[in-house]
Amino acid sequence: MDSAEELYAIIQAAPIGMIVFDENEKVLFSNSYAEELFENETVEVKGMRCGDFIRCEYRYLNRKGCGASERCPECALDQAIKAVLSEKSDETYVEGEARVVTDISSQSEYYSFKVNSLHIRSRKCVILSLYNITVQKQAESTLKVASEEKTRLMIEMNHRIKNNLSLVSSLIALKQEEVGSNVDLSDIRNQVRTIMLIHEKLYHTTELQSIHLVSYIEGLLEDIFSFYQDTNVKMETSVEDISLPTKAVVSVALILNELATNAIKHAFPGESDPRFSVALYRTGDQNEIIIKISNNGKKIPDGIDFTTAHSLGLRLIFSLVRQLDGTLYVEREPHTKVTIHLPLKPS
């Protein structure tokens, strides 16, 4: 630009703070908006350095003033101006955010800034544009604190739920001892333990809205099979790294618990090499999750229908699949295989 007067007229009309610096990082002129921001309306600003103009309190740390103190390398404004003015740099434009500590404010101020190179009568200069974003930053900080507090409370809640469910499981175990073998309460105890494991996992993660199945299913099955100490079941799992909402994971976990427990009680007795397999993956179009659960034990009798079975566990499986808007298929030959199709809803 050939005319400094023309540039001065342009920046005076700008609705943000604008300051022009010469090749020596000294102020040539500024607009009234910038002068009001830093209370320089009655002060001669020409020749000031950036820190003097914005009244940075760190300029007192060195007698040479702005650009010389040990805090200056941390100043985004100073570094941006230097980068654009440097003959060794190809930078012609730098933008960012800066935290500014001044003599005129009791707290830090935050500015979004842009530094552009320009030439005035063949002199390389820069123009610094500033916009105060302190209010936005304070709002972001408040939201961050609130989010962190919410996360802390959710983690604590999951910890308490896990402990309460552990107590329920222990009470069921005590009741089992009281009633003896006349009533089998192991199913309900396993259901409680299954939900307890989910809250245990949520307690140790910051992802409170969803769970990665790949890190959960194998641990769940190990816990289920370890409950039946006289059964040495070989697990075969192939689980894709899929994250599901916690509510859906609870349903999937209860389904696995029922099928694994059913296999131990009815399919594996008499088997020398019992195997329980789970495969979970997305379909190619990413619209569904397929879960295949099978075992190599005795098949489910032909007369048993999941929708009308006397077994509460089998009816629970059908009900859970329906709650997830899924479909269930049962193959009985040569061994039992249950295939579940679940729609993969967008998160």
Q: What is the pLDDT of residues 41-51, one digit of tens each?
A: 888 888 899 98
pLDDT at 247 over 90: no
What's the pLDDT band for 72 if we cut at 50, 70, 90?
confident
Predicted confidence at residue 293, as pLDDT, reads 92
Tell me how far apart the alpha carbons of residues 339 and 278 are, in angstroms, rounded to a whole number: 10
For residues 38, 40, 41 and 45, what is the CA-based torsion angle, rounded to 10 degrees? Answer: -130
Predicted confidence at residue 2, as pLDDT, reads 54
The arithmetic mean of pLDDT across residues 24-35, rounded, is 88
pLDDT at 236 over 60: yes
Contact, 76 vs 96, CB < 8 A?
yes
Distance of CA 91 to the CA centre of its chain: 35
pLDDT at 300 over 70: yes
What's the pLDDT band for 292 if we cut at 50, 70, 90?
very high
Predicted confidence at residue 290, as pLDDT, reads 92
Least confident of 53-62, 93-102, 109-118, 135-144: 135-144
Closest-CA residue to 94 (of 68, 121, 112): 112
Q: Considering only the top CATH level, what class is 211-347?
A: alpha beta
Contact, 258 vs 313, CB < 8 A?
yes
Closest-CA residue to 78 (of 66, 86, 96): 66
The arithmetic mean of pLDDT across residues 99-117, rounded, is 88
- Token pair listed for 129: 């544009």
CA Rg value for the chain: 34
Q: Kindly report the number of other CB atoms within 10 A of residue 284's CB atom.
A: 7
Confidence (pTM): 0.55
pLDDT at 54 over 70: yes
The arithmetic mean of pLDDT across residues 164-172, rounded, is 79
Q: What number of residues does the chain have?
A: 347
Predicted confidence at residue 113, as pLDDT, reads 92
- Token pair listed for 162: 């896990």
Least confident of 101-105, 274-278, 305-309, 331-335: 305-309
pLDDT at 183 over 60: yes
DSSP letter at 301 equals P
Predicted confidence at residue 203, as pLDDT, reads 64
pLDDT digits (tens, 9 = 90+) for 73-102: 888 899 899 988 887 777 788 899 988 888
Least confident of 11-25, 199-213, 270-284: 199-213
Superfamily of structural domain 4-132 = PAS domain (3.30.450.20)
pLDDT at 115 over 70: yes
Predicted confidence at residue 291, as pLDDT, reads 92
